[in-house]
Amino acid sequence: MRDEAMNDDNVRADSGRVRDSAVSQPLLQVSGLAVDFTTMDGVVHAVEGVDLEIAPGETVAIVGESGSGKSTTAMAVIGLLASGGHVARGSIRLDGRELVGISESELRDIRGRDIGMVPQDPMSNLNPVAKIGTQVAETLLAHGIATRRDVDAKVIAALSAAGLPDPERRAKQYPHELSGGLRQRALIAIGLACRPRLLIADEPTSALDVTVQRTILDQLDDMTRELGTAVLLITHDLGLAAERAQRVVVMHRGRVVEQGAARQILEAPQHPYTQSLVKAAPSIAAARLRPEVFHAEERRGAETDAGDAASDNIVEIEGLRKVYPVRGRGEDFVAVDDVSLVIPRGETVAIVGESGSGKTTTARMLLKLIEPTAGTIRFEGRDVSTLDRAQAREFRQRVQPVFQDPYSSLNPMFTIERLIAEPLEFYKRGSRAERRARVRKLLDDVALPHSMLQRYPSELSGGQRQRVAIARALALSPDLVVCDEPVSALDVLVQDQVLTLLRDLQQEYGLSYLFISHDLAVVRLISDYVCVMKDGALVEAASSEEIFTNPRDPYTRRLLASIPGNELGIAS
């Protein structure tokens, strides 16, 4: 299987990096690994009987949803299991050396020098009160890679190799002064500073835009290829796994259910769970557009022929502009510049673009959370800037948001019942009994059991919390729902469930959606129209089918080319 992956010209990784396993022992060999966690409720068997190998210079991806055991397996390899966790059984060998049972001091010598780590969230893994250069220097000094005399030069070299522009200046900055992409590069610099033989990359780009993601992964590929470093890539993105790894290991409920050559696993999955992952992944299934898109296209074409085109737009935005004054600078910051778009009733309009493109600012102006500097927003023909207090109150009931992070947007002190009932109580909708009945109906609508009514957000999974957020948004029977990155923090299977739920609710209630996302693969699955924003301006707007099959603007083409899996012909 490995030879198949290496001989496949379409596989992105350089096959020359992978040595013939017949003449070279694996760099990493995990056999029968079992990891248990001791909790107040007893012992949790997080990982059971995992076997995997990584050859020198090879990239192997572990894929699976949250809770599948993929990150726990990686943390066991590097000896950084969370509190209460321990290796119950099995073997972990690095270049023939057994790591299970060795002392903490021996593990500290191995970490960084022999096994590097690039974690998922740079803000929680970088010290917020230490400069970037200081944090790179700590790793170099701890493993004797640098001395006090030459450490500064080696820090600059490490940052430069990781693709940070102007590394001398970046070394003197704190994490909060860098963008998400630059912070991730800093973590790559730390992880590879000691030239480790194995790098564990745990969801290294999941929170980044597709273009930034591709830039960073290309940089990581170049560095590991140059150093001859093997990579254990942890991801829930199957398109990314197909593009970046020679082999894929699929985990489900703590066990390996399938593994083999990346293309073989993704094009002909054998295990039902792998099949469900492939089917659900938007980066792979993007070409399988839902049938109702085509029906909507045909319906609009028929309406146009009948002379009814675009006569029922629920929202019309014209010349929208938002400018923020910047203290100490001669120029103001233009966040949104002359944006015009419409949202037809009962359909989905997506705004896509990189971070800082202005898409969320546009949504916040539509929600009347911030006021525009110029331009007009009309809701059902009425200029929302002219609404009096009573009209604004009605407007807020008819236009509801669903935000990216359901945990931060749900009051952690409220039960699920109280959270969903809150807007009904605030707007005095119905009697107490009617509100209770409405909450139960909403739980049914979002496919959550009534047993969750007395639970708190912390007791729910990410997908369940997002369903609660959707139920709360629907409580007042809105006409328009503004979804701001509603699935970007979710695993592929949960993401697919939430997108299907949004589509079904739209069909049942005739909802209109404004869908904000940087993930074009997701947008292709759910949108009727797509608006592409860059640097605050609208660069292209057309039907979803036209955007994805015939993009006109170079920026749109660059975004589409950055979707993981595109180069392998999987995402298009």
Q: Find, among 18, 4, 10, the residue nearest to 59 by Cα.
A: 18
What digits encode the pLDDT tens for the residues 206-223?
667 777 778 888 888 888
Q: If you average pLDDT over residues 423-444, what whole number do you get?
A: 94
The pLDDT of residue 327 is: 74
For residues 335 and 322, give the distance between their C-alpha atoms in angstroms, rounded to a whole number. Answer: 6
What digits encode the pLDDT tens for the residues 113-139?
899 998 877 777 899 999 999 999 999
For residues 66 and 155, give the distance between their C-alpha atoms in angstroms, rounded to a whole number. Answer: 35
Compute CA distances 69 → 47, 151, 266, 340, whole Å.
6, 38, 20, 46
The pLDDT of residue 466 is: 87
| Beta strand pairing call for 382-383 and 255-261 | unpaired
First-to-last CA distance in the chain?
Answer: 25
Q: If you average pLDDT over residues 308-315, what whole number do you get?
A: 71
Q: Kindly state the percentage of the chain with pLDDT values over 90.
A: 54
- Strand partners for 41: none
No. of helices (H) and no. of strands (E), the chain: 24, 20
Q: Which domains does the chain have, with CATH numbers?
A: 1-14+25-114+232-280 (3.40.50.300), 291-414+478-568 (3.40.50.300)
pTM recorded for the entire structure: 0.71
Q: If you average pLDDT over residues 487-501, what whole number do you get?
A: 81
Could you tell me if 74 and 232 are in contact, meaning their C-beta atoms sit under 8 angstroms apart? yes
Could you tell me if 504 and 338 are in contact, meaning their C-beta atoms sit under 8 angstroms apart? no
Buried b / exposed e over 431-448, threshold 16 CB at 10 Å, is: eeeebeebbeebbebbeb
- More confident site: 295 or 494: 494
Buried b / exposed e over 13-50, threshold 16 CB at 10 Å, is: bebebbbeeeeeebbbbbeebbbbbeeeeeeeebbbeb
> Is the pLDDT confidence value at 14 over 90?
no
In which region does residue 18 sit, left (phi positive, over 0), alpha (psi from -120 to 50) or beta (all else)?
beta
Instruction: Give the DSSP letter string of 401-427.
Output: EE-S-HHHHS-TTS-HHHHHHHHHHHT
For residues 515 and 336, give the distance between their C-alpha atoms in angstroms, rounded to a whole number. Answer: 17
Compute CA distances 111 → 114, 122, 146, 198, whole Å.
6, 18, 16, 10
Is 526 in a helix, a strand, or coil?
helix
Instruction: Give the DSSP letter string of 338-364.
Output: EEEEEEETT-EEEEE--TTSSHHHHHH
- More confident site: 494 or 197: 197
102-111, 277-286, 485-494, range with the lowest pLDDT: 277-286
The pLDDT of residue 174 is: 92
- DSSP at 28: E
